[in-house]
Structure 1
Amino acid sequence: MDPIAGTGDGKTGKYASMLPEQAPPRTPLEHAYRLLDQEHFCTALYFVLALITRLYRIGKSPTVIWDEAHFGKFGSHYLKHEFYFDVHPPLGKMLVGLAGLLSGYNGSFEFKSGESYPEGSQYYVGMRIILALFGVAMVPVAWSSSGALGWNKRSRHLLAIMVLCDNAWLVISRFILLDSMLLCFTFTTVHGLLMFHQQQRRPFSTKWWFWLTFTGLSIGCVMSVKWVGLFVMSLVGLYTIEDLWDRFGDLKMPVRTYLRHWCARALCLLAIPLTVYLISFKLHFMILSHSGPGDAQMSSLFQAHLTGNDFADSPLEVAYGSRLTFKNMGYGGGLLHSHIQTYPVGSQQQQVTCYHYKDNNNEFIVTPVIEQPQLPAAGSEAEKTAPLRMLRNGDTIRLRHVQTGRNLHSHKVAAPVTKENYEVSAYGNDTVSDANDYWVVDMVDDMHQGKAKPGMQVQSLTSRIRFRHQNLNCYLRAANAVLPQWGWKQVEVSCDKENNPKDEHTYWNVESHWNDRLPAGNTKLYKSPFLRDFIHLNVAMMTSNNALVPDADKEDLLASMPFDWPLLWNGLRMNSWADSATKYYLIGNPVIWWGSTVSIFVFLGTLLFYLARMQRRHADLSPASFNQFVFVGKVGFFGWFLHFLPFTVMARVCYIHHYLPTLYFACILYVHVLDHFLFNDATARYNSKGQVAPPEIVYPDSGLRRPISPAIKNLLFLIIAGAIVGTFAFFHKTALGIDGPVWKYAGRKWRNSWNIYD
């Protein structure tokens, strides 16, 4: 008998209450809503959508696009183990080299701008795909990070959609560039910070240590890709200082526990990032073991160990008649150099500069002063039999430029850039000379012989020497002053009137040394400490980065000013604009860029409003809601401010892609403002005294607003998300490639300043 219908004793429904109540079947729309509430499903969904957008048509253009000309070439150097120099740390470029290795690239392509990749080769597609995976990761990371911000699910989806559908983030992720890695590690650093913040009430737990360590590792990675990573490190630093200050006010916390907090942060947020940064340079030096185009940026001792350099085989002791190159030992120093061009100012004699690349114009010969016996003619029998005269500490010499035959010279004429110093030029020849060509060898010390003594022999590579002008008593110096275009932007060489014995920019060493009458040296005699090489390279990077200033007499059509970026004043053409080329235009999604910029001011105004209300004893938010509002706002605003401000004071040339890490923090503020006013009911639950109000009651005069219904919230979400996605779709060709004449894509010039057509 059916137990629900009844039983044999005539009593019906005896067991009906024991059966579970059956829910009505869900509609497909309800199933979709249920899936969108699942964290792992959304993460996977955004990962798949990011894969589609980042990889679609990624190999469409078989030409070198924009800065692929630089970073593809650097990747080639790793595959060929050739030492090169660049202004960025090495981690990102090593990953470019790894992408090339995994894609079957052998390092032979020159990556000339606009050049077509070899016909039939697909390695460039593989390299683009591997590096695009960092851009893919940005979207699910942004989604996961939003979970720690206390937002409504709609707001979380909006942030992920913004990262997914910004055209600038998309196009920058699709080529052989460093920016996708920089952005990815910036996102992961913010993610680590937010996840660590969630563990603050469980200090020293496993998750607490994990997220603190994760944040430190991520900081190390982002700093090792570009120095822009220092800005997000500053954000973490400000958060840490505030956190430790708050804990300092906790009188219940034992001093020992407080000190543990300091030690934990010093270990994870300072030691770990520095270790990652150091390891990246150590690997950089280990991989680039052969001589290459960037040798001259490093010390002579470092270069002596590169395969292909003969420095270590050069004669050890220097003699009169030796042909030499002199390396300035200041950080970032180059090689003493001269060329046939003359100064257009001052004495108008032959220029003497410091040059960072190997060149025949770097070579000088040590010759005696006029009053001393001269050297026999080169190649003569007398030269072969004449006794060698070794160069010693305290000798007065002339340095004759090999290519032009002129002598290193100084006089009472102001240097062209460093006016307080004397000009150094090249003057005269073997027979035409005066006392202003005389330089006294002032030895500092020697790696083998120790502290300098009178008459000590000068040795190549290991001796640190200064050149004192005999008449003017000034010292030959090459710092970081750069000559104008007439001096080929090379480093100025001057004669410093001040005798500062510790100024390493007045220190020189013999780098290359040629003398057939002297025995060869030995590589085992030379050692180059890693930390000194590390510091030397970083100072050289900093010096070169600061020198990237726009020429006053040239207009850079790609450059832009920092205050142009928040309002999307212009875009950037990434390659040829010919009708036959697949064209890429770096321009952001206007709905995202303009909205995020406005949100910065909306947030600041709202915060000021709440603070003013609190001063008047009105509590519009509960303490927990206000703290969360301020915390997310601080992450967004200070992240934006710390990334944006440095570019406004930099002298170096800037481009719109420099704003892309900054944009993420503006987007966080954008969504935070939308969440606060539209999607989160925190402001609707408290009256003017901070008292909880029943949801069905509204107090007209209490400052309490009626909660927005879920249907209205969904409609607002669809409108905003639709505007973002629709604008992205309208501009998608700028990132995925514009084929044919640009004018066929009408309506894409939303500002007169955009050069998408003209």
Structure 2
Amino acid sequence: MSTPQGARQRGKEGSKKRGTTPNPDGSTAMMNGHAAENFDKLKKAGKEAVTNEWDYKLALAVITVLAFVTRFWGISHPDQVVFDEVHFGKFASYYLQRTYFFDVHPPFGKLLFALAGWLVGYDGSFLFENIGDSYVTNRVPYVAYRSMPALMGSLTVTATYWIMWESGYSLPACIVAASLVLFDNAHIGQTRLILLDATLVFFMALSVLSYIRFYKLRHDAFSRKWWKWLLLTGISMSCVISTKYVGAFTFFSIGVPVIIDLWDLLDINRKQGPLSLPDFGKHLSARIIGLIVVPLLMYLFWFQVHFAILSRSGPGDDFMTPEFQETLSDNLMTQQAVGIDYFDNIAMRHKETKVYLHSHPDKYPLRYDDGRISSQGQQVTGYPHNDTNNLWQIVPSQPLEGPGHRVKNGDIVRFRHLVTDNWLLTHDVASPSQPTNQEFTAVGAEDANGPRLNDTLFEIRIENGKPGQEFKTMASHFKLIHFPTKVAMWTSATLPPLPEWGYKQAEINGNKNLVQSSNIWYVEEVPGLPADSPRLIKDEKKVKTMPFMKKYFELQRAMFFHNNALTSSHPYASFPIQWPFLLRGVSFWTENDTRQQIYFLGNPIGWWFASSILAVFAGILLADQVSVRRGVDALDTRTRSRLYNSTGFFFLIWAAHYFPFFIMGRQLFLHHYLPAHLASALVAGALVEFVFNIEPADLAGFTEAQLQEAKKGSTKTQAQQGVRGRPVRERIAGQSLLATWAASAVIVAVLIWGFIFFAPLTYGRPGLSVEEVNARKWLNYDLHFAK
């Protein structure tokens, strides 16, 4: 499983000088006469292979044409917004408008959509607000948008075939692997819409292909082609992770064989001769540059492009700090920020959940549901709507002379609730739902200005603020730290709402972890300021600058936090255990009048075949290991090497792109399995060859007695076929190749039938009758118009 050692170089050896053989460092060594003779045979065989590869090339051309036909056919239908096109089409429009937005995915895939819109001269005026909105009415060049993923989806099929071809598999094996992707309804459906997965899967396949080409040049190290394919591997992997963070799985898939390959190069007893430590250092450095440094620089480059384009204020502002927002033109925060004075009445709002700090006369109950006793103090909660109960007067901790004293970063302050005239307080009493956090409450003036004064003291701590910096509305994101106990005022979307006694409002409590970003609040407004107040006079604000890496790390933190927060339920979410068996799909689009629908679903026959092949492969490996342990060597060296190294490499890719999803807590959907499905198609093609095909070289391990026995036992058959004089090796190889072709033809035919049967759900037309819909309701496919 370490490296794709099944890869062959067809005809490449023919270009070497007679009598020499390449060493790993690119040098050559003299061969003895017998070796030279063998090399001549190899060179001749290589030339013949090149001459005979017209069949591979013809099949590649046919498969590529079919890929374009299946992906582009009827791409203009439907002429409405479909499923997640509401997100990625919107993001492309924001790029074209240069309006800042926020998304949990890196920018590369979305930039490609923006490029498609820019190339056709679109201005991005349509914002893809709702599924079903008309593209025609709003004059959106949606076909240009959809053509970008359709192009990459088509080339993914080509790359799949090319991977098998470069890995040295027979033509039937290449066709089976490519057909599993070519005629898969899920790959087709996902690559005909404005979605990111086509980009992800294409560059994942290109990464695998580039690495195989690079590995095949291991005996020509540091040549131009060696460097070319090394760098292409790194660039392709960078494009994967620059589209979605699950691209890290591709880095792991390639990284494992690279590390094992380096470990083999370090071996002083390697067959090709030992490498000196300086030479090994060159190999190590080259891989670090090609597979780590270059991908990292490219990844950062796309974020630089992202920041450079999105220069105007937009809907993504709220996810960023005030310092970041000040780098955007037309930012409302910088335009509307008002300095806060002591004794102002302010409304504080939580940055992430957007609830206001709220209180009302009701008390906490004596006992909570778990039997714990509360302070029975006045409730302090989070309320999502603007209300007079959200107003708090900010009061200095020490008396001040005269009005107009500005609140600043680091000040110790107190808060008086305007409606109830009670004072904000937290103390060493457990909160309603979290025994580890402190309860927030409000107490009367007698306690607040007497024995409990210290419990009402809070520090204003502005995020990234300088000492003495002015505290402003909107512009100052801050943490409110309780001065005596050092807990932060906190709430979270993950907290359960309060019970009926708390009117289902959000719980506010004291968080001991001060560094959490969910501790951040801001002041939305200072109500009641007169229109002629000098505090409302704004100087013209200049757009500020911010170092790229600082912007990058801030955006990364926000992206990872919100990606992990995608834990809410979704009617079409599914679990990883369901994906290989295609137990359910996703409804993308429906139209009641025509009874048309797009339902995201793979070709069940192809998915079940590929999944069963994965189990067969694991069983073969287990059986082989048990046989070897018992002294029965059922496989020759070449076949075992191909099985473990080449097919094992494909299996590693599948596992790396599948099993990590089991430990994710976010929403997951069937489309997350598409990269793993492509890898399973590669394993399936390889296993078809393993099971059915025996090449002449595979018969080298047969003893002459075994071959004669096979010849005697098949004399009658030879006579009937008129091939009595044909060598036994060629006859057996021919029969096995015929069996491989027959098996492959059956597999492809069944795949085509499954594709055509489910095509109306993939292309969204024609509309199906009730009987036709029910005929396709396999397993748990919750199709529309079934009655």
TM category, shorter: 0.7 to 0.9
- Aligned twin of 1:160: 178
SS of corresponding position for 1:131: helix
Higher helix share: 2
The answer to whether the aligner puts 1:467 opposite 2:485 as a matched pair is no
Match for 1:338: what amino acid? L
Structure 1 residue 558, shift from structure 2 partner: 1.2
SS of corresponding position for 2:219: coil
In structure 2, what is the Cα distance between the partners aligned to 1:195 and 1:359?
62
Match for 1:546: what amino acid? N
The answer to whether the aligner puts 1:391 opposite 2:407 as a matched pair is yes
Could you give the per-residue CA deviations for residues 450-474 of structure 1, whole angstroms, max 9, x where no partner exists? Answer: xx5xxx454559989653324x523
- Aligned twin of 1:11: none
The answer to whether the aligner puts 1:212 opposite 2:239 as a matched pair is no
Structure 1 residue 93, shift from structure 2 partner: 1.4
Change (3 A) 1:250 1:299: farther
Change (3 A) 1:438 1:69: same
Match for 2:488: what amino acid? L
- Aligned twin of 2:47: none
Change (3 A) 1:310 1:66: closer
Q: Is the 8 A contact 1:483 1:490 kept in 2?
A: no
Change (3 A) 1:151 1:352: same
The answer to whether the aligner puts 1:191 opposite 2:209 as a matched pair is yes
- Aligned twin of 2:19: none
The answer to whether the aligner puts 1:751 opposite 2:772 as a matched pair is no
Q: Is the 8 A contact 1:618 1:688 kept in 2?
A: no
Q: Is the 8 A contact 1:571 1:585 kept in 2?
A: yes
In structure 1, what is the Cα distance between the partners aligned to 2:585 and 2:298?
35
| TM-score, normalising length: structure 2 | 0.77
- Aligned twin of 1:338: 357
In structure 2, what is the Cα distance between the partners aligned to 1:489 and 1:248?
64
Change (3 A) 1:114 1:404: farther
Correspondence 1:581-600 to 2 at 5 A: 581-600=595-614
In structure 1, what is the Cα distance between the partners aligned to 2:487 and 2:239?
42
Change (3 A) 1:282 1:120: closer
- Aligned twin of 2:139: 121
Structure 1 residue 259, shift from structure 2 partner: 1.2
Match of 1:716 among 743, 747, 752: 743
The answer to whether the aligner puts 1:352 opposite 2:371 as a matched pair is no
Change (3 A) 1:613 1:741: closer
SS of corresponding position for 2:311: coil
Change (3 A) 1:88 1:622: same
Match for 2:234: what amino acid? G
- Aligned twin of 1:496: 511
- Aligned twin of 2:220: 202
Structure 1 residue 305, shift from structure 2 partner: 1.7
Q: Is the 8 A contact 1:410 1:424 kept in 2?
A: yes
- Aligned twin of 1:7: none
In structure 1, what is the Cα distance between the partners aligned to 2:702 and 2:214?
33
Match of 1:637 among 621, 642, 651: 651
Q: Is the 8 A contact 2:347 2:524 kept in 1?
A: yes
In structure 2, what is the Cα distance between the partners aligned to 1:363 and 1:301?
26
In structure 2, what is the Cα distance between the partners aligned to 1:219 and 1:427?
59
Structure 1 residue 526, shift from structure 2 partner: 5.4
Structure 1 residue 171, shift from structure 2 partner: 0.7
In structure 2, what is the Cα distance between the partners aligned to 1:591 and 1:284?
41
- Aligned twin of 1:614: 628
Structure 1 residue 497, shift from structure 2 partner: 4.4
SS of corresponding position for 2:60: helix
Change (3 A) 1:115 1:81: same
Match of 1:86 among 97, 100, 103: 103
Give the root-mean-square deviation of aligned CA atoms: 4.1
Structure 1 residue 631, shift from structure 2 partner: 1.5
- Aligned twin of 1:31: none
Q: For structure 1, which segment, 521-530 or 135-144, has the greater mean C-alpha deviation from structure 2 after superposition?
A: 521-530
Could you give the per-residue CA deviations for residues 621-656 of structure 1, whole angstroms, max 9, x where no partner exists? Answer: 443332222112222221111111122222222211
Q: Is the 8 A contact 1:620 1:688 kept in 2?
A: no
- Aligned twin of 2:586: 572
Structure 1 residue 70, shift from structure 2 partner: 1.4
SS of corresponding position for 1:212: helix
The answer to whether the aligner puts 1:545 opposite 2:563 as a matched pair is yes
Correspondence 1:20-419 to 2 at 5 A: 37-111=54-128, 112-119=130-137, 121=139, 123-250=141-268, 252-312=274-334, 319-321=341-343, 337-338=356-357, 349-352=379-382, 367-369=394-396, 372=399, 387-392=403-408, 395-399=411-415, 408-416=424-432, 418-419=434-435
Structure 1 residue 41, shift from structure 2 partner: 3.8
Amino-acid identity (%):
29
Q: For structure 1, which segment, 209-218 or 277-286, has the greater mean C-alpha deviation from structure 2 after superposition?
A: 277-286
Match for 1:396: what amino acid? I
In structure 1, what is the Cα distance between the partners aligned to 2:420 and 2:303?
39
Correspondence 1:445-524 to 2 at 5 A: 452=467, 456=468, 458=470, 467-470=480-483, 472-478=484-490, 482-484=494-496, 494-497=509-512, 516-518=533-535, 520=538
- Aligned twin of 2:438: 422
In structure 2, what is the Cα distance between the partners aligned to 1:157 and 1:194?
18
Structure 1 residue 43, shift from structure 2 partner: 3.3
Runs of 5+ unmatched residues, structure 2: 1-50, 369-373, 714-728
In structure 2, what is the Cα distance between the partners aligned to 1:695 and 1:574?
62
Structure 1 residue 172, shift from structure 2 partner: 0.7
In structure 1, what is the Cα distance between the partners aligned to 2:150 and 2:388?
43
Q: Is the 8 A contact 2:126 2:138 kept in 1?
A: no
Structure 1 residue 517, shift from structure 2 partner: 3.8
In structure 2, what is the Cα distance between the partners aligned to 1:401 and 1:100?
52
Structure 1 residue 513, shift from structure 2 partner: 8.7
Change (3 A) 1:258 1:302: same
Q: Is the 8 A contact 1:349 1:427 kept in 2?
A: no
- Aligned twin of 2:670: 656
SS of corresponding position for 1:151: coil
Change (3 A) 1:404 1:63: farther
The answer to whether the aligner puts 1:736 opposite 2:753 as a matched pair is no
Change (3 A) 1:429 1:166: farther
Structure 1 residue 188, shift from structure 2 partner: 0.9
Change (3 A) 1:709 1:262: closer
Match for 2:282: what amino acid? R
Q: Is the 8 A contact 1:408 1:427 kept in 2?
A: yes
Structure 1 residue 559, shift from structure 2 partner: 1.6
Change (3 A) 1:177 1:463: closer
Match for 2:65: what amino acid? V
Match for 2:481: what amino acid? R
Match for 1:735: what amino acid? T
SS of corresponding position for 1:147: helix
SS of corresponding position for 1:349: strand
Q: Is the 8 A contact 2:596 2:767 kept in 1?
A: yes
Structure 1 residue 210, shift from structure 2 partner: 1.0
In structure 1, what is the Cα distance between the partners aligned to 2:419 and 2:231?
57
SS of corresponding position for 1:566: helix
Match for 2:548: what amino acid? F
- Aligned twin of 1:23: none
| TM-score, normalising length: structure 1 | 0.80
SS of corresponding position for 2:245: coil
Q: For structure 1, which segment, 578-587 or 649-658, has the greater mean C-alpha deviation from structure 2 after superposition?
A: 578-587
Match for 1:633: what amino acid? T
- Aligned twin of 2:576: 562
Match for 2:574: what amino acid? S
Match for 1:627: what amino acid? S
